[in-house]
Chain A
Amino acid sequence: DAKTTQPNSMESNEEEPVHLPCNHSTISGTDYIHWYRQLPSQGPEYVIHGLTSNVNNRMASLAIAEDRKSSTLILHRATLRDAAVYYCILRVSSNDYKLSFGAGTTVTVRA
């Protein structure tokens, strides 16, 4: 499966933007980029996904590099509730939906 690389941890102040990078240099043309997050003591939660174009939803924005070898999840105004582990995942179309989660990025938000 195509792999992703994320920083182990990031810190942010409340109400400031958070930019979470993800490298996926071996991505294939049909692989979707998915982001999930896992709050303490909860199951993972879908955040956003995209293929080539930048995407926005109520939770976050996803900026995808032109060569698709990297992407950035943007939380526009971090709140304490955004403290979680954020996973960047590639959905390989040839493998149905066998999502493989890496270690993710642990985001800490300071009040």
Chain B
Amino acid sequence: DSGVTQTPKHLITATGQRVTLRCSPRSGDLSVYWYQQSLDQGLQFLIQYYNGEERAKGNILERFSAQQFPDLHSELNLSSLELGDSALYFCASSVDRTGELFFGEGSRLTVL
């Protein structure tokens, strides 16, 4: 158990819909990261937050957005969903900007 909690574990929705994935980092960790893992793309870095502020951005689509709240939990919002958005979405946390990452078990999104 990494200490990082992600909900929901599984989510099935239709194209065009919007979903929110939630992540609770390890106690005391200020940084939260979001990754997408699909069969053809591997693990792709999406975005990083540090203590509520966006600090690094990767290959995140404009239809996707994220935020980190004052209690340090984070949400990843995916809108206008397409079939290609079906993937595992991982959240990770670390103590600071440079520490090792602790990953959650992921949220599996299926878009039909």
Q: A96–B55 contact, CB under 8 A?
A: yes
Q: Which residues of A contact B43 (CB under 8 A)?
A: 44, 87, 101
Q: B42–A103 contact, CB under 8 A?
A: yes
Q: B105–A49 contact, CB under 8 A?
A: no
Q: Which residues of B contact A101 (CB under 8 A)?
A: 35, 42-45
Q: Is the interface on chain B under 10, 10 to 19, 20 to 34, or 35 or more residues? A: 20 to 34
CA distance A110 to B90 in the complex (A): 29
A13-56 Cβ-contact flags toward B at 8 Å (1 or 0): 00000000000000000000010100000111110010000000
Q: B100–A49 contact, CB under 8 A?
A: yes
CB of B56 within 8 Å of the partner chain:
yes
Work out how many contacts link A and B, with CB atoms closer than 8 A.
56
CB of A8 within 8 Å of the partner chain:
no
Which residues of A line the B interface, CB within 8 A? 34, 36, 42-46, 49, 87, 91, 93, 95-104
Q: List 19 A-B contacts (CB under 8 A).
A: A34-B100, A43-B2, A43-B90, A43-B103, A43-B104, A44-B43, A44-B90, A44-B92, A45-B103, A46-B101, A46-B102, A96-B97, A97-B101, A98-B48, A99-B33, A99-B45, A100-B45, A101-B45, A104-B42
Which residues of B line the A interface, CB within 8 A? 2, 4, 31, 33, 35, 42-45, 48, 55-56, 58, 90, 92, 94, 97-106
